[in-house]
Amino acid sequence: MYIDHALSARKLPEIPEDREEILRVLSREIYGSLPSAQPAAAEIDSEDANAYAGKATERHIRVSFSVPEGKFSFPATVLIPNAVHRPRLFVHIAFRPNVPDRYLPAEEIIDNGCAVAVFCYTDVTSDDGDFSNGLAAAYPRTGAESSGKIGLWAYAAQRLADALGAWQCFDMERLAVIGHSRLGKTALWCAATDERFSLAVSNNAGCSGDALTRGKQGEHVADITGRFPFWFCENYRRYAGKEERMPFDQHWLLAAIAPRFVLVNAAEQDLWADPESEFLCCAAAGRQYERMNLDGFIADDRPPAPGDFNGAGRIGFAMRSGGHFLSRTDWNAAIRFWKEKM
C-alpha cells in the first residue's frame, strides 16, 4: 500500500500520546518557548459599518497587552459580515497590511459568512535576526530555547484572539488561524499551543511546517536554518545535515492540534515545500487522532494530485495546480473544510 510503505520508509519517530510532551519537545528543539499569556484589549481607531456595499463592518484596531517593563501594541483590521449573527472568525497572519489583498479575497470571505481579522506580521517584529525591535525587544534571546520569530508572531495572533473574544460578537467556538509559507508554520504553532483555535490552516508551509522532514524533497533544515535561523530557537540548527537525529518530525506538530481540525493546502509546483511530504505528514499525524477513536486523515491510497480535496477526517488536505501562493482556491478550500466540519 502506497501510504503505509511511504511512511515506513521515512522511519518516523513515534508521536507521544501526551500532547504536553509533544509541545515540550517542539518548544525545546525547534520553535522555542512562548512568553506567558497576557490579557489583551482592542481599541477601535476607525469603523465603517457599511463597507463592501453595506455587507460588512470594517474596523481598524490596535491590540495592546502587557510585556516586561511596559505595554506592546500592534494594528489589525477586522471585517465582520453584517448579515450573520456571531460569525465564525479567521485570524489571518498576513505578509501585508492591505485589506483586501492579493492574498486576501476579503469580499469572498464575507460573502461566505465568515469574519476575518488580519494583521501584518512585520508590525509585530521584523522578519530578520534583529531581536531589538517590536515584540522581540520585549522577549530577546536569552538561551538556546528562547522563542524565534515564528513563536512571537504566533503569540501575537493569540493576543489578537484574546482581544476579539472580549467583543462577544464572534462565535469563539469556531475560531481559526490561517497563514501562508512561513506564516503557515506560524499558524500551526499558534493552534498547537492554544486550544481555543478549533482549526489551523497551513498553506504551502513545507519545511519545518506541514511537511515531513525525513525523506523530504526541496528545502531541508540546513537550508532554512542557514537563511532564516531567527525563525526558530537556536537548538534547531543542531539538526542541519543531521535530520535523522531529530527526536521528532513535523507530524508531531499537526498531532499536537488533535482532536481539533487541521487543513494543509498544497500546490503541485511548490517543490520546495514538497506536496508529497505534506500529504504524508497528514497521514502520519492522523494516527494520533485514531488513538482518540476519531477519523484522522482519510484519502485515496495514492500520491496526491491537483484537484484533490481530502476532507472526510479531522485532518484535511487540498492540492491545487500552480505554485507557492495563497489564492482564492486555497481560501475556498479552507472555508469549505471548516463549514463541513462545524
Q: What angle do CA 100, 106, 110 make, to 5 degrees?
A: 155
Residue appearing with cell numbers 518516523: 12
Alpha helices in 11-105 (DSSP H): 19-26, 51-54
Q: Which three cell numbers stand for residue 222?
A: 540546513
Q: Among 181, 208, 277, 327, which one carries the catalytic annotation?
A: 181
Mark whether 202 is an active-site residue: no
In angstroms, the CA 211 to CA 275 distance is 8
Q: Which three cell numbers stand for residue 332?
A: 475556498
Indicate if 33 belongs to the active site.
Answer: no
Copy the grid coordinates of residue 246: 531529530
140 preceded by a cis bond (ω within 30 of 0): no
Burial code (b: 16+ CB inside 10 Å, e: under 16) for 26-52 equals: bbbbbbbbbbeebebebeeeeeeeebb
Cell digits of residue 268: 503541485
Q: How many residues does the chain have?
A: 342
Max CA distance (Å), the chain: 57
Q: Any idea what the Cα angle at residue 239 is, between residues 235 and 245, rounded to 5°?
A: 115
Burial of 307 (0-12, 13-18, 19+ CB in 10 A): exposed
Identified catalytic residue from 33, 60, 146, 324: 324
Q: Where are the strands (E) in 68-148, listed by range?
A: 70-81, 89-94, 115-120
Catalytic positions are 181, 324
